[in-house]
Structure formats: structure tokens, C-alpha cells
A and B are shown apart, each in its own frame.
Chain A
Amino acid sequence: MADTIQLDLVSPAKRLMSGSVGMVVVPGIEGYFGVLPSHMPLLSTLRPGVVSVHDGVNDAPAKQFFVDGGFAEVNPEGCTLLVDEAIAVDELTADDIAKRRTAAEERAQSAATDEDRAAAEKALVIVDEMARAMSEAAP
């Protein structure tokens, strides 16, 4: 049994990460789940949260990315995460989050249709999760 798994983290604009890792923890729509080598094939949607990449099962995360939703596919070849946007957690800044929050709040205020409102609410949830990710990462 292989002790590493191939991980590909890609957003529409670029490939953020591609390589062999020991374990990856993914924010699935029904809760965080860890993917280890030989995980059973799985397709899941993602909710906003943090993807943690670990070198070994018991190691601290080597890398963490904040993702704002997308899809995960696990198959025998590896784990593929298709995300809308991903930011390395240590690159999150309070300024940026504040800016996004104001934008999202303005959008919620001016939303005319149900669709707009839903989109604005989704943006707010993303901002909240982003803030939480940052506070958890900063000791």
C-alpha cells in the first residue's frame, strides 16, 4: 500500500498545488473529512473552509489553504480538489477580509431578487469562514 496520495488543488485560474502528500483534510459539505491513501472513491461538494495538507497522518499540517467552495473527487489515482478560489491561510489579511465583508454587506443591502440575496448571503458566509480560518491559524 502506498503511503502517499496524489493531491491536485486547482482553481479555474491556476493549479495551486500538485504533489504527493500523506493526508489531506477537506471541508466536505457534510463535515470535514480526511483523505488517506487508498480512500474509497468519493465525490463531494465542498463548503467554505480550510484544506489542510499533512505530510504524515500525525504531523501538523504542512500547508493550509482557505477554499470558498467547489468539488472534491477521490479515486484510486488520487485526490482532486476543484475550487472556486483558494488562498494560502498564512496569506489571509485582516484588511482583505474587511474589504470583502463590506462588499458582501453592500451586496446584501442592494439585492433586489432572491437570487441576489442568496448570492450575497453566500458571500457573507465565505467571509465569516475566512475570518475564522485566519484567527485559528494565528496563535
Chain B
Amino acid sequence: MASLKDLRIRITSVQSTKKITSAMKMVAASKLRRAQEAAEQARPYAQRMEGMLGNLAAGSVGQDGAPRLLAGTGKDDSHLVIVMTANRGLCGGFNTNIIRSARALIRDLQAQGKSFKIYTVGRKSRDNMKRDFADHMVGHFDEFGRTVSSFSEAEHVAQAVTSMFDAGDFDVCTLVYANFISAITQEVTRQQVIPFPVPEVADGEDAGAGGGYEYEPSDTEILTDLLPRNLAIQIFRALLENGASEQGARMSAMDSATRNAGEMIDKLKTTYNRTRQAQITTELIEIISGAEAL
């Protein structure tokens, strides 16, 4: 049985933990608001970009001389997996879920006998991937904003990826990140970015989608401009979605930690009071029986 002093010490320590977790929850909540706003503001651009590219690509896919970012290298032997996580922990299952999904993807690739490379974004991703796949790591980036990422950070990653692609280091590139749905729900997403996944167009619509447009300067020139841009945009969106998801996950993790600490304090207090009362009773009995003996 713990002594009263031990119990008191434990109660104070749990109380200060509770203070910390509830402060972290509050910080995460205010960061979440900003991050969520940024992620939502970025969505229209990324979606329209995809739409525009889809229209354009539907017309020129299969043509000779289509840019390689669109057509691919013609094989899919070698994959680049971009694993995006947060820089910091204490955000529930956020990092773990992303890493689990990335590992599953890598295992699939291994089972199919494909070679793979890993580019990590975020410190947690690097630390985890280094354990098993240190030989496959080709790059790392973690200097993104604490709350909201800027576009130049995404461009930095996109440039690294493009130069690897141009050097023929891989054929297919996939992003693994968490899509922000709400503060309590984040969905781990795998998105193929190279080659650009051309939306399936029904035969009847084909002419309407690709053929009706007038191009200035020309469709191939726009395409060569648009494709690298789209890569940066998709990475940017993933960064922002990830940022919002991280704060959301941290907020709910800290919320339940605060609640748990509260419950624990209640339990400890009950034990503390019971012990105290038992002690008083014992003391009284001792005094009374001492007095009776006289």
C-alpha cells in the first residue's frame, strides 16, 4: 500500500502532465485552424489543375512525343515512394498510420519483384524508414513550416524528384500522406504522381474533352509547362493536407490524454482520501485503547 506521501507526489505529477497535455491540445487546436484553412484554400487550385491536365492529357496520351512525365518511361520496374510524415511525435497514430501504409506498399513492391527507392519528408518518416530500408533512401526533406508549408518548400521537393526522374532513377512515383477530412478523421492516401494518372474517358466523350480546345501556344508546350507545375502542386497539397492532419491528430490525441489524466487524478484522490481516513481511524483506536488501559 502506497503511503500518503507517495500518493500526494503521484497526484501532483499527474496534475502537471494534465496541464501540459491540455496546453498542447489548445496549441494544436489553434494551429489546426490555420492549417485547415491553408489546406482548404489550396484545394481548388490543385483540383482545377488536375482537371485541366486531365482534359489536356486525354487528348495527347498515346501520341508520340508526349512528355515523359505524362507517358512514363514505358515500364514500371522501379518505384519512388515519397513518405510524408510530421517532424514531431505526440500526435496519436498519425505518423504510425502513414508509415504502416508505406511499409505495406513497399512490401507489395518487393513481392512483385520491383525495385524501389524512398524519399522521406518529415523527421519521423526518416527515422522510421532508416531502420529497415536505409539502403533504399535517396533523399530527405524536413525544413517545412511548423504550421503551414509554403509553396517554395514543395517546389524544392518537386525539383529533387524531377531531377531524379530525368536521370532515369525511377519509373513510377507515389506519394504517401494523410488526407485531412476532419479534426478526428484523417485518411492515409497513396497518390501516384508520375506518370500523371490520366482519367478514364469514355469513348464517346473523348473528342469533346480533348478536341474542343484551342491552345495558345500549343498543346504540347502547355503540357510541358503544366506537368512539372502539377507535380509541385500535388506535393504542396500533400504537405498542407498532412500539416492539417497532423494538428488534428495531435489535438484529439491530447484531448484524450487530458481526459485520461483527469480520470487518473480522480482515482488517485479517492485512494488518497481512503488511506487518510484509514490512518485517522487507526490513530483514534490507538488513543482510545490507550486511554482505556489506564
Q: Please give, as numbers and ranges, the residues of chain B lying within 8 Å of A4 by CB-CB distance.
A: none
> Are the CB atoms of B217 and A45 closer together than 8 Å?
yes
Which one of A8, A40, A71 lies within 8 Å of B214 (CB-CB)?
A: A40
Instruction: Determine the residue in chain B with the shortest Cβ distance to A80.
Output: B48
Instruction: Determine the residue in chain B with the shortest Cβ distance to A31.
Output: B216
> Are the CB atoms of A30 and B49 closer together than 8 Å?
no
Q: List 30 A-B contacts (CB under 8 A).
A: A8-B44, A8-B48, A10-B45, A10-B48, A12-B45, A12-B233, A15-B41, A28-B216, A29-B216, A29-B217, A40-B214, A42-B213, A42-B215, A42-B216, A43-B55, A43-B215, A43-B216, A43-B222, A44-B215, A44-B222, A45-B216, A45-B217, A45-B221, A45-B222, A71-B52, A71-B229, A73-B48, A73-B52, A82-B45, A82-B48
Q: Does B194 contact A (CB under 8 A)?
A: no
Q: Does A1 contact B (CB under 8 A)?
A: no
Q: Does B151 contact A (CB under 8 A)?
A: yes
Q: Does B225 contact A (CB under 8 A)?
A: yes
> Which residues of chain B from 241 to 286 have a CB within 8 Å of any chain A CB?
none
> Are the CB atoms of A43 and B38 closer together than 8 Å?
no
Nearest first, the 7 closest Cβ-Cβ pairs linking A and B are: A44-B216, A14-B41, A10-B45, A41-B213, A41-B212, A42-B214, A12-B151
Q: Does A11 contact B (CB under 8 A)?
A: yes
* Cα A73 to Cα B51 with chains together (Å): 10
Extra pairs beyond A12-B233, A41-B212, A73-B52 (5, CB < 8 Å): A10-B45, A11-B45, A12-B45, A13-B38, A14-B42
Interface size on A, residues (CB 8 A): 22
* Cα A8 to Cα B215 with chains together (Å): 19
Interface size on B, residues (CB 8 A): 27
> Are the CB atoms of B41 and A13 closer together than 8 Å?
yes
> Which residues of chain A from 14 to 40 have a CB within 8 Å of any chain B CB?
14-15, 18, 28-30, 40
Which one of B38, B49, B212 lies within 8 Å of A82 (CB-CB)?
A: B49
> Are the CB atoms of B222 and A71 closer together than 8 Å?
yes
Q: Does B56 contact A (CB under 8 A)?
A: yes
Closest chain A CB from B148 CB (angstroms):
9
Q: B-facing mask of A29-70, CB < 8 A → 1, else 0?
A: 110000000001111110000000000000000000000000
* Cα A82 to Cα B53 with chains together (Å): 12
> Are the CB atoms of B217 and A12 closer together than 8 Å?
no
> Which residues of chain B from 195 to 246 have a CB within 8 Å of any chain A CB?
212-217, 219, 221-222, 225-226, 229, 233, 236
Q: Please give, as numbers and ranges, the residues of chain A lying within 8 Å of B44 by CB-CB distance.
A: 8, 10, 15, 18
